[in-house]
């Protein structure tokens, strides 16, 4: 990874971490777990234990008339899997996410406000894919790292302490930087050359929502659409959904459903669903 990518990511990381110390920051910390035991004729005896930790902070403040939104998120987990039908015991990371975003909006009294945003998305630790009960590395910290710079117009449909729906549409510059795992940056047309850097321009449409369904249940959603100017008929889709049901003051059940469609990764739709219970603190 080149120095410009590293400095850019560290800059956004510092900004978003500073946002968490503000008095108006919305911060959520969770520690959840799930456990499975099975013994049947199809898979034999199997035991899995999964632990997950996440941190999500967001803050909005003003600099004169300029409105600034900072966000920072990480999620990391680990799953232990042991099966009597196979000799190997696997320990794999889950929820391996590290991301940050800064959004600047200038209210002009219209329904639409011009904005500029910069963001990055990478992993906290090395990720693996399970192939025939063996682990194969696929990504690690800053490898790859995906960054966006977008500018356009933002529309706040509804904004309050309990409900929020905001949508942003604009032109975007996208960069993918890799070193050891070049799958996302490599051009399939050049078979003899392995590209480790990819830059392109396109259109990004991002919608974020938060709905307080009742006193104990809330719903969060983020829908991120991106299309390169090279082919506007093809769109990459990242749709994250989460329902949190509070049982006691700091204990909750969390249902997550994430959907990803990106033809540069796979021609099939990828998804992840989880149902967990644990400590969830909203600060």
pLDDT digits (tens, 9 = 90+) for 224-263: 999 999 999 999 999 999 999 998 888 999 999 999 999 9
Nearest by Cα to 98 from 75, 119, 69? 75
DSSP β-bridge partners for residue 172: 150, 202
pLDDT at 12 over 60: no
- Residues 30/279, Cβ–Cβ less than 8 Å: yes
Q: Any residues with CB less than 8 A from the CB of 40 and at least 6 apart, and which?
A: none
Between residues 106 and 26, the one the model is more confident about? 106
pTM over 0.75: yes
**Structure tokens that stand for 237 in this block:** 């889709």
Residues 277 and 110: their CA atoms lie apart, in Å, by 43
80 band by pLDDT with thresholds 50, 70 and 90? confident
**Higher pLDDT, residue 64 or 130:** 64
- Across the chain, mean pLDDT equals 86
Q: Which residues share a beta bridge with 246?
A: 252
| Stretch 61-86: mean pLDDT | 85
């Amino acid at each position: 990874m080149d120095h410009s990518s590293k400095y850019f990511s560290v800059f956004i990381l510092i900004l978003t971490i500073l946002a968490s110390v503000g008095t108006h920051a919305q911060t959520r910390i969770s520690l959840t777990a799930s456990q499975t035991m099975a013994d049947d004729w199809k898979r034999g005896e199997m035991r899995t234990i999964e632990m997950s930790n996440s941190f999500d902070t967001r803050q909005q403040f003003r600099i004169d008339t300029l409105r600034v939104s900072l966000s920072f998120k990480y999620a990391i987990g680990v799953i232990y899997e042991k099966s009597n039908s196979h000799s190997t015991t696997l320990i794999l990371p889950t929820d391996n996410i590290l991301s940050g975003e800064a959004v600047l909006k200038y209210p002009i009294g219209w329904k639409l406000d011009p904005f500029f945003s910069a963001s990055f998305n990478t992993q906290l630790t090395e990720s693996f894919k399970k192939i025939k009960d063996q682990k194969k590395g696929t990504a690690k910290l800053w490898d790859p790292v995906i960054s966006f710079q977008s500018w356009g117009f933002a529309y706040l449909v509804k904004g309050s302490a309990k409900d929020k729906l905001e949508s942003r549409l604009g032109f975007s510059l996208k960069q993918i930087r890799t070193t050891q795992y070049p799958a996302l940056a490599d051009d399939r047309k050049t078979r003899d050359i392995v590209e480790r850097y990819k830059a392109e321009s396109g259109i990004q449409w991002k919608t974020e929502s938060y709905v307080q369904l009742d006193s104990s249940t809330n719903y969060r959603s983020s829908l991120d659409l991106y299309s390169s100017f090279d082919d506007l008929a093809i769109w990459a889709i990242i749709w994250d959904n989460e329902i949190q049901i509070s049982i006691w003051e700091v204990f909750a059940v969390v249902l997550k459903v994430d959907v990803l469609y990106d033809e540069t990764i796979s021609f099939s739709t990828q998804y992840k669903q989880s149902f967990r219970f644990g400590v969830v603190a909203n600060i």
